[in-house]
Amino acid sequence: MKGIVFTEFLEMVEETHSIDRVDSIIAEAAPPHGGAYTAVGTYPAQEMGALVGALARQSGTPAPELLRSFGTHIFGRFSTLYPGFFTGVTDTFDFLERIESVIHIEVLKLYPDAELPTVLAERTGPGRLRVTYRSPRCMADFAEGLIEGAAAHFGDDITIARSLPRGAAAPELVFSLARAE
C-alpha cells in the first residue's frame, strides 16, 4: 500500500486525536521500520490494518467506523491533491463511474506499484447506481467512506445500502446507491 495512505491516516489521527496518539498506535502496531512512513514509500497493507486496529483498541471506536471516516477524510484530501480528476465532473455518480475507467488508471501511472481494487459502477435506474467493490485487501469500509466523501464533495444526498453488514471483510461487496432527487 502506498505511503500516502499511511501519511494521510497518521495526519488524520493527529488532527482528530493527538500527536501522542499517533506515537502510541505506532508503538502498538510496531512496524519494522519504526513508523517512519513517507508518502512515496510502499508498505504492506497489513500495516494499515495494524494501525487501525491499534487506534480502535486505544480509542474504543470500532475499526470499521475508523476506516469509513478515514475514507471520507482522504477523499477530501484527494480533491486537493489531484484536482485534475475532478475537472468537468459535476456529480457523484459520474465521478464514481470514472474510478475504474480513468482515475485508478491514472493513479497506476503515477504509482506503478499501487494495489488498487476493482470498482464497477452501473446505473440501475433513475437516481440509482450499483457499485461493485472487489479487492483481496477487503477494505469495503474504506470504500464506503470514500463514496460518502464523494457525495459530500458534490453535495449529493445519497443513501448507501450494502449487500453485507458493515465490518464484513469480504473480497467482493455491492453498494446500492439511491440519490434523493
SS (H, E, C) the chain: CEHHHHHHHHHHHHHHCCHHHHHHHHHHHCCCCCCCCCCCCECCHHHHHHHHHHHHHHHCCCHHHHHHHHHHHHHHHHHHHCHHHHCCCCCHHHHHHHHHHHHHHHHHHHCCCCCCCEEEEEEEECCEEEEEEECCCCCHHHHHHHHHHHHHHHCCCEEEEECCCCCCCCCEEEEEEEECC
User: Which residue, 24 or 53, is less far from ligand HEM as judged by CB?
Assistant: 53
Binding characters for ligand HEM, 101-140, by CB under 6 A (x = yes): --xx--x------xxxx-x-------------x-x-x-x-
Given 50, 85, 127, 163, the residue binding ligand HEM (CB under 6 A): 85
Q: Restricting to residues 24-63, which ones interact with ligand HEM according to CB under 6 A?
A: none
Nearer to ligand HEM, 20 or 113 (CB): 113
- Site for ligand HEM (CB under 6 A): which residue of 13, 99, 129, 158? 99
Q: Which position among 2, 68, 73, 153 is part of the footprint of ligand HEM (CB under 6 A)?
A: 2
In the complex, minimum distance from the CB of residue 6 to ligand HEM, in angstroms, rounded to a whole number: 9
Which triple of cell numbers denotes residue 3?
505511503
CB of 12 to ligand HEM, least distance (A): 15
Applying CB under 6 A, which of residues 19, 82, 166, 170 lies at the interface with ligand HEM? 82
Q: Per rule CB under 6 A, is residue 9 in the interface with ligand HEM?
A: no
Tell me the C-alpha to C-alpha distance, in Å, between residue 168 and each of 23, 139, 163: 28, 9, 10
In the complex with ligand HEM, the residue whose CB is nearer, 107 or 178, is 107
Residues 6+ apart with CB under 8 A from 64: 141, 166, 167
Which residues contribute to the site for ligand HEM (CB under 6 A)? 1-2, 4-5, 78, 82, 85, 96, 99, 103-104, 107, 114-117, 119, 133, 135, 137, 139, 142-143, 146-147, 150
